[in-house]
Structure 1
């Protein structure tokens, strides 16, 4: 019997890396899709299950809160329990929660299902990224893999708005969740068939205390930030949550310095690249998530677009995103990773600055199309390079944790950015409404949000130059040579020394 099994294993063709990467990228796309797919359908969801204003907010926040708070735990679980196993379990939970959300008949059930979706996503995202890095450990193949990752991650946000609009207008809001459930089931089957079994569990114990403290800290932080959008920054609950998060993060730091099997081991930051990549990713995320919140609102509330037209309007952004992600490794090889990253951030900033000129009497072609293309190109290119930077030089046993960390910083950065920008936009709109018509007041608030977003990205571009040039070599051997970038590039040119910068 054993002999027959061995012969069958030998006869079965090994899954190709390209097919496995496609399955993993589909898992990442699904997670990103769920972040934005409800945005267009919120008015219909509110009427369908009788949501209050606060309840409508929590249809979005419940997913983001669970996702952002549990990513580190999900990444570490993937490292210790087996990445493929955790990915499949996360996809199963995600599919089940999506189906439950589509069948929900009350606001409580819907919000609980969205939170369960976020829990599943917190397992899927870091495990899928770690498995992709296992498939392409080094060389130009990793650059192409990260290009695919960037394309599907950015396209997921735009695709969510498009699919949400199509499904809501055609069959009603429950189908946005039924479609996600069906798609996730297909992705789960593809992962089971195409992604090869890895080595299994890694040595080490799960840091329960550290995980509990940092999860509670992130929960307080994300909850405080999301609540601040409606309650205000001076609300006692918001201040208490933010102060609690600060205290818990300080306690987490003290705990991790004393534990041999720490959730966040110091070796993760040995090269300096992980810290730099995550800081810059948090700043990018602060603008990224807010963009997909404000842009559909402007299209629907000011321009009067239908859900379908609003979703279709995201297609140029999604196309530019995929193009930028595909070209990012080639461009960084030719002109250098630091120059490429800086140019990408400035390109996105230019698109947002263009959006800051929108008008209440504007149109999609004049006010949205051109900026969307610039934003898509810049966003995807920056995402590819920062993801590579945040996972480069990480010990293999910590790949899942590194994937969880870079997703966490993007989510937390997004929560901070969206809370701050929503407060700003609301304040500007309220002030403008005292002497301007409603649509002009709304537009003034959106203009302010886009202007500040452009300023944040311009500052991020300036910060990227010293951070990517001064990170240390792998193993901490010393600073990179002046004028060289520590951001991973696609492939070295013949004869070009790369000891100062990792290759992808």
Structure 2
């Protein structure tokens, strides 16, 4: 494979730094919410929007952000969105009104929805498909996991001093990445034809995704069979069908619908949604069990999940070698299989937390599953996609993760309500176990189909 040049390493570090910042920001706010709620006298329903506004905007604008990167230049989109991210972080840090804090979180989510697919598509277009891209994705995901896991610890420490510090910490990181991108990444190539933005497609896509994410996120509170939930799903479906009709009729569609004929890409996105649905449910169950039932602090829970982060850090740099030697499909199947014994261990949680035979082994298995699966899914979901659509492919994968995570979390929450006794938890564990089994089965069926087509059997 040869040694990478300094230019390639710098490009990888910039892309990885962007995804680290996203993970850091999301996890820090999670542990700072009680302090913000106390200062502004927020109700619990209002406080949940400190995290929910970011997730809502991020999940809704990802596809648009990915396509913008393809159309207007990946470096250009990354730099502008990172600048917005830094400015809004400062606004949120000095806000003296609860609504302004929540609005700042929404705008940060929008900015991240443009930086994440821009960074990921920069990676896929910089490193050619095969061993180099496999290795790059392994390192990329080390940064992603490190950002999220370290954010829980850093956020807990900063929130104990002042919650505003959790808004300020990302600012110098964002500015550093912005300057590095301007100085070190090559300029975007000039376009040979004029870009005509599909405004109708953009409007129906963003509105439909917003409505879909809001509906999924609120279903646990208002009920899955409520008129509001059903109306939300119907409205989102109408908007997204309208989007498809627009894309079929315009000369320069926002998204080329033929991309969805790629079975590998569709399977990777379905698997990503199922995997993240189970993973978010697992983390939510663990938080309720340790913090609500046993009074643990967030930083103590972060220590329980530390082995998971260490697994990603240790395995991530070796993933390129593993995927080159054993194949992406085999690595993916091993990773997906690891989630099943992890979730089975959660059926053994008892009146007292069992660190050594339940929680820490589950954390190790969870980390192993993530370390192997996420990188392999990213490779599978971007392989064979043309360079001019890599941003869109990246946006699709990230959208699948977000919508899948929100859906899984909503289903688990609805299953375990009110989650005040240990007996409430087993049904939720069975839900995330079902997600893990379905993810594995989907990949087994896809890989069997690929072998049959390829071998004529």
- Same-fold call, TM > 0.5? yes
Relative to its length, the structure with more helix (as a share) is 2
Q: 1:383 Cα shift?
A: 0.5
Unaligned runs of 5+ in 1: 1-13, 430-437, 473-477, 484-504
Unaligned runs of 5+ in 2: none
Q: Please give the residue correspondences for 1:215-294 in structure 2 after superposition, counting only pairs within 5 Å.
A: 215-294=206-285
The one of 184, 193, 198 equivalent to 2:174 is 184
Counterpart for residue 104 of structure 1: 95
CA distance in 2, matches of 1:322, 1:404: 24
Q: Please give the residue correspondences for 1:310-459 in structure 2 after superposition, counting only pairs within 5 Å.
A: 310-427=301-418, 429=419, 438=420, 441=421, 443-459=422-438
Q: 1:95 Cα shift?
A: 1.5
Which is worse superposed, 138-147 or 284-293?
A: 284-293
The one of 462, 467, 473 equivalent to 2:441 is 462
- The 3-state SS of whatever aligns with 1:205 is coil
Q: 1:244 Cα shift?
A: 0.5
Q: Please give the residue correspondences for 1:179-218 in structure 2 after superposition, counting only pairs within 5 Å.
A: 179-201=169-191, 203=193, 204-218=195-209
The answer to whether the 8 A contact 1:81-1:200 is kept is: no
The structure-2 alpha-carbon separation of the partners of 1:102 and 1:367, relative to structure 1 and needing over 3 Å to count, comes to: farther
Which is worse superposed, 74-83 or 299-308?
A: 299-308
Which is worse superposed, 107-116 or 234-243?
A: 234-243
The answer to whether the 8 A contact 1:151-1:326 is kept is: yes
CA distance in 2, matches of 1:46, 1:381: 37
| TM-score, normalising length: structure 1 | 0.84
Q: Please give the residue correspondences for 1:48-67 in structure 2 after superposition, counting only pairs within 5 Å.
A: 48-67=39-58
Counterpart for residue 3 of structure 1: none
The answer to whether the 8 A contact 2:135-2:318 is kept is: no
Instruction: Kindly provide the CA deviation profile for residues 82-116 of structure 1, in whole angstroms up to 9, marking residues without a partner as x.
Output: 11010011111112222222222222111101101
The answer to whether the 8 A contact 1:23-1:194 is kept is: no
Q: 1:369 Cα shift?
A: 1.5
Which is worse superposed, 51-60 or 259-268?
A: 259-268
Q: 1:319 Cα shift?
A: 0.8
Counterpart for residue 6 of structure 1: none
CA distance in 1, matches of 2:87, 2:430: 40
Q: 1:15 Cα shift?
A: 5.6
CA distance in 2, matches of 1:190, 1:18: 12
> Based on CA coordinates, which of the two structures has the bigger radius of gyration?
1
Instruction: Kindly provide the CA deviation profile for residues 236-264 of structure 1, in whole angstroms up to 9, marking residues without a partner as x.
Output: 32222111011112222222222232122
| TM-score, normalising length: structure 2 | 0.93
* Aligned-CA RMSD value: 2.2
Counterpart for residue 32 of structure 1: 23
The answer to whether the 8 A contact 2:131-2:324 is kept is: no
